[in-house]
Amino acid sequence: MTQLEYAKSNKLTSLMRSIAKQEGINPGVLLRNIKNGSVVILKNASRALKRPCAIGRGLSTKINANIGTSTDKCSIKDELKKLDICIKYGADAVMDLSVGRGLKEMRLQVVKKSPLPVGTVPVYELAVNAQKYKNNLLSFDYLDMLDILESQGKEGVDFFTIHAGVTKKSLKSLKASKRILDIVSRGGAILASWIEFHKKENPFFEYFDRVLDIAYKYDVVLSLGDGMRPGSILDANDKAQFVELKILGELALRARRRNVQVMIEGPGHVPLNKIKENITLEKRLCHNAPFYVLGPLVTDIASGYDHVSASIGGALAASFGADFLCYVTPAEHLRHPSLSDVREGVIASKISAHAADIVKGNKRAIDHDRQISLSRKSRNWQKQIKLSVDPDKAKEYRVSSRPLDSEVCTMCGNYCPIKLAGVVHR
Amino acid sequence: MTQLEYAKSNKLTSLMRSIAKQEGINPGVLLRNIKNGSVVILKNASRALKRPCAIGRGLSTKINANIGTSTDKCSIKDELKKLDICIKYGADAVMDLSVGRGLKEMRLQVVKKSPLPVGTVPVYELAVNAQKYKNNLLSFDYLDMLDILESQGKEGVDFFTIHAGVTKKSLKSLKASKRILDIVSRGGAILASWIEFHKKENPFFEYFDRVLDIAYKYDVVLSLGDGMRPGSILDANDKAQFVELKILGELALRARRRNVQVMIEGPGHVPLNKIKENITLEKRLCHNAPFYVLGPLVTDIASGYDHVSASIGGALAASFGADFLCYVTPAEHLRHPSLSDVREGVIASKISAHAADIVKGNKRAIDHDRQISLSRKSRNWQKQIKLSVDPDKAKEYRVSSRPLDSEVCTMCGNYCPIKLAGVVHR
C-alpha cells in the first residue's frame, strides 16, 4: 500500500509519524494533507531510506539538488563527491540526471549511498539506451519505457520526473506560439522529438495507467515534468505552458485516484511580476498538488550567477506557496557544474527556502533568525558562525580577517555600531 | 543654481539633456520629475564628473557600491583597487565609508579617480577627527559639522548620507521598542551616542538649515540616512523605523523648498512580506523622493552569502519602486570585504536591479534578455558571453569546460535540449 492509500483509510503510518515529528507538526494534519494530495512523501516503499522527505502544505520548503554525468563529463566518482556536498550543505533530495556512460551504475551508486530521497528522469535512460543500441536516441517504445520504470522502481528510486504533459496537443500550442526558445527541458525535448519522429502520442501520456501501476507498486512519487517551461523570461506564462499545466492537473487527479502520490513541476524563466500567477494557477489547475519549481530565474542575463537569479525567483515562488525548489548553480547555461558550483547552488537555494519559510510562518525558521541576531547583539562569534547557513564559509571569512578587538569584525573595527549602540543604550 | 532650482524654473540644463539621452527618455519628463522631487541627479556642481547618475521615477534602477578603510583594514591602495572593480563591473555610484587612518586622503583620491558619483557619511570624519584629536569620538559640535560638510562639498563629494532622523524623538521610540538589535547603522549609532552623551539634539537635525546651505552651494544630494533601520528581520517595520521615516519625510520637504535635491535611505533586514509596505510608506511619507535601500536582507542567517539574501530583497524592493540599491557583499557581518567580495556584491546587485527593471517596463532591459535568449537559441556562445552580466566569469566558465561539440555545453552534451528541439521543430 502507498502512503496515500494509508492516508485515505485514515491510517497513520510510522513514516507519517516520524515526518510529523521531524517537521514539528501535528500528525493528524499531515495525514489529512497526504489524503487530499497537498503533501507527498518521497520514499520508495521497497527500500530503507535514512532521511525520507515530505513536501507540501504546512511543511518547511524543501530543496533539491541535481547531480549526474553528461556525455562530456562522465566521472561517477566526481558525481558521488557532489552527492556528499549536497548532503553536507543541506539538500533535502537529489536527482540523478545522468546521461553519460555508465548511467545505470551511477544510479545504483547514488541510490545506495544517498540518505536523501533520489529522483530520476527515466526518459534519459530510454534515450541513452536507444542511442547506444540502436544509434538513434528516439528508438524506444512504450514497452521499453515500462521496463525502465519497473527496473528503476525496483532499484529504489523515490521519485520520477515524467514529462507526460508533452503531448500532441501541447506541442500544437507550442508551434502556434511566438516563443524565443521553444523547449529547454531535456526530457521535454526528447519526447517532443519522439512524437514528431514516430508520429505517435507521448508514451508516458498514452500509457499513463501503466506508469501508474509501477509507481503504485513501489510508492514512487510522480513529479509531472514541465517540458514546455519557458527558457526566456519573454516566453513566460504563455499558452503552451498553461496548456501543459492543465494536462498535468488532469493527470494528477488520475494518479491520486490510483493512490499514486504526485507533484507538479514548474518553470523555469519567469519575470518577477509573473511568478505569483504561476503558483496560483498550479494550485488551482492541479488540485493543490505540491509545486516543484526550477528556479525560477528572474532574468536571462545572469550566466555565471544563475544561482542568484534563481534565488530571487525561488524565494518569491516559495513565499507564494511553492513547496519544493530545484537548485540552480552558477554553471547553469555554461558548463557541467563543479563541486563548488554545487555547494553554491545548494546554499543559494536554502537561503530562498528559508526566507520563504519565515513568511510562511514556520516557527523554527523564525527562531533561527532570532537566535543568530541575538548572537550578533552579544558579539558571540562562535554561535553566529554555527547558526550561519554555511558555517564553513562564515568561519573561513572570520578567520581570514582578524580584528584587533576580537568582539567586532574588520568591517567597522572600532566603529562597530552594535557595540557602540550597546554601550550607550541599555 | 542647483538642478532642482533649474527644474523649478523649467530650465532644461545640459546635464539633464545628457542624462535623458543616457536613459533613453524624454528630457521634458526628466525635468518634470526633478522638479517634483521624484528624481535626483548625483553630481556636485563644483566639479567635472565623467558619469553623473540620475536616480528615481522612470529611470533604470541604479546600484551603489561601498568602499573604504576601517580601523583594522587601512590600505588606501587596496580600496582604490576596489574602486576599479566597482567601475569595471557596473556600479552606478560609490560611497567612500572610510573610518581608518588617512580618511581624508582616501576621499580625495576617490573623488579624483572615480568617474562615478561619490557619496560619503560626513559624521564618520567628525567622529574619526574627534577620536584622533580629543580621544573621544563624540567630542564634536555643530560647528565642526559645518566645517566638515563645507570641506567635503568643496572637494567635490556628490552626495552626503545625513542621519538627521536620529533625534530625541526617534530614540525615544527605539528605547520603548522590544528590538533584538537596537541600532546597526554606523552613523546612526554615532549620533544616538552623541545625543545621549551631550544631552543635546542631533546637530544634523537641529542645524538642518545650515546643512542645506552647504548642500545647496555645491548641489550635493542629501541622502537622508536611516539610523533606525532594523538589524534583524524580526525588528522590521517597527515604530522606531517609521517614526524616523516620518521625520525624514518632513526634512525632505524642507530640503526641496530650499532647492536641495534629496533622497531617502531604507532598510536593512526585512522579511519578504514586509518589503512592499516599506516602499509604499516611503513614497507616501517622503513625497515620492527616490528610495535608496540597503539590501534589504530577507533573512539574518546568510552570513557569507548576504549578497544573495540582499539580491532577493533588492529585486523585490526595486520591483515595488525602490530606485537605488546599495550592494551587500558576501563579507557582510563577517569581515572587511576583499576584491572578489566587491565584485560579487556588485554583480548580485546588478542582477536585482535588472530583474526589477524588466518588470518596471524598461525597454532596454527587456531587449537585453531578448538578445541573450536569441543567442542561446542560435548557440552563439560569443554573443551569449558578451551579453552576460559578468562576461569575464561567463567566459571563464565556458573555457574551463569545453564540450566535444562546440555548439553545446558540457552540462547536457549531446542531449542539449535547445539543439534537439531546434532540429525537430522549426
For A133-167, the DSSP string reads HHS-TT---HHHHHHHHHHHHHHT--EEEE-TT--
Nearest CA in chain B to A370: B234
3-state secondary structure of A266: strand
A29 inside domain: no
User: Rounded to 5, what percent of chain A is helix, strand, coil?
Assistant: 55, 10, 35
| Strand-strand pairing, B39-42 and B53-56 | antiparallel
3-state secondary structure of A119: strand
Residues A298, A239: one domain?
A: yes
Chain segment B213-248, per-residue pLDDT in tens: 999 999 999 999 999 999 999 999 999 999 999 999
Contact B159, B223 (CB under 8 A): yes
Residues of B with Cβ-Cβ distance to A275 under 8 angstroms: none
Is residue B424's pLDDT more than 90? no
Residues A242, A160: one domain?
A: yes
> In whole angstroms, how large is the CA radius of gyration of chain A?
22
Chain segment B178-227, per-residue pLDDT in tens: 999 999 999 999 999 999 999 999 999 999 999 999 999 999 999 999 99
Is residue B422's pLDDT more than 90? no
| Beta-bridge partners for B39 | B56
Is residue A315's pLDDT more than 90? yes
* Greatest alpha-carbon span in chain A: 78
Q: Which of A361, A381, A398 is the last residue of a domain?
A: A361
Segment B364-391 mean pLDDT? 97
Dihedrals phi, psi of A179, to nearest 5 degrees? -65, 150
Res. B29 pLDDT band, cuts 50 70 90: very high
**Cβ–Cβ gap B99/A389 under 8 Å:** no
Residues of A with Cβ-Cβ distance to B197 under 8 angstroms: 424
B23 inside domain: no
Chain B residues 241-300 within an 8 A CB cutoff of chain A = 271-273, 298-300
Residues of A with Cβ-Cβ distance to B308 under 8 angstroms: 307-308, 311, 347-348, 351
Residues A78, A175: one domain?
A: yes
Residues A282, A403: one domain?
A: no
Contact B115, B49 (CB under 8 A): yes
Answer whether the bond into residue A413 is a cis peptide, omega within 30°.
no
Report ipTM (2 d.p.): 0.97
Whether residue A382 lies within 8 A of chain B, CB to CB, comes out as no
**Cβ–Cβ gap B182/A374 under 8 Å:** no
Residues B247, B385: one domain?
A: no
**Cβ–Cβ gap A347/B374 under 8 Å:** no
**Cβ–Cβ gap B418/A302 under 8 Å:** no
Chain B residues 49-68 within an 8 A CB cutoff of chain A = none
Chain segment A246-278, per-residue pLDDT in tens: 999 999 999 999 999 999 999 999 999 999 999
Chain A residues 154-173 within an 8 A CB cutoff of chain B = none
Residues B83, B201: one domain?
A: yes
3-state secondary structure of A284: helix
Contact A274, A236 (CB under 8 A): yes
Residues B298, B373: one domain?
A: no
Chain segment B62-101, per-residue pLDDT in tens: 999 999 999 999 999 999 999 999 999 999 999 999 999 9
Residues A330, A304: one domain?
A: yes
Residues B400, B258: one domain?
A: no
End-to-end CA distance of chain A: 61
A26 inside domain: no
| Beta-bridge partners for B54 | B41
| Strand-strand pairing, B291-294 and B262-266 | parallel
B28 inside domain: no
**Cβ–Cβ gap A359/B299 under 8 Å:** no
Segment A326-352 mean pLDDT? 98
CATH number of the CATH domain containing A215: 3.20.20.540
Res. B426 pLDDT band, cuts 50 70 90: very low
Residues B303, B410: one domain?
A: no
Half-sphere CA count of B156, side-chain side, radius 13 A: 17
Nearest Cα of chain A lies from the Cα of B374 at a distance, in angstroms, of 6
Distances (CA, A) of A241 to A201, A285, B54, B375, B378: 18, 12, 39, 22, 22
Is residue B255's pLDDT more than 60? yes
CA angle B91, B37, B155 (to 5 degrees): 55
Residues A227, A347: one domain?
A: yes
Number of domains in chain B: 2
Chain B residues 85-104 within an 8 A CB cutoff of chain A = 99-100
Contact B23, B53 (CB under 8 A): no
Cell numbers 548532503: residue: A87
Residue A128, classified by CB atoms within 10 Å of its CB into exposed (0-12), middle (13-18) or buried (19+), is buried
B12 inside domain: no
Cα–Cα distance, B47 to B20 (Å, whole number): 20
Nearest CA in chain B to A187: B417
Q: Which of B311, B344, B361 is the last residue of a domain?
A: B361
For an interface test with A, the pick among B99, B350, B424, B426 (most A C-beta atoms closer than 10 Å) comes out as: B424
A108 inside domain: yes
**Cβ–Cβ gap B394/A304 under 8 Å:** yes
**Cβ–Cβ gap B308/A304 under 8 Å:** no
Residues B347, B370: one domain?
A: no
Residue B423's pLDDT is 54
B76 inside domain: yes
Residue A423's pLDDT is 55
Distances (CA, A) of B169 to A389, B173, B268: 37, 7, 21
Whether residue A138 lies within 8 A of chain B, CB to CB, comes out as no
When the pLDDT of each residue in chain A is averaged and rounded to a whole number, the result is 97
Q: Which of A361, A388, A406 is the last residue of a domain?
A: A361
Model pTM greater than 0.95? yes
A13 inside domain: no
Cα–Cα distance, A209 to A194 (Å, whole number): 20
Res. B421 pLDDT band, cuts 50 70 90: confident
Query: Which domain does B215 fall in, by range?
Result: 37-361
Cell numbers 536507444: residue: A130
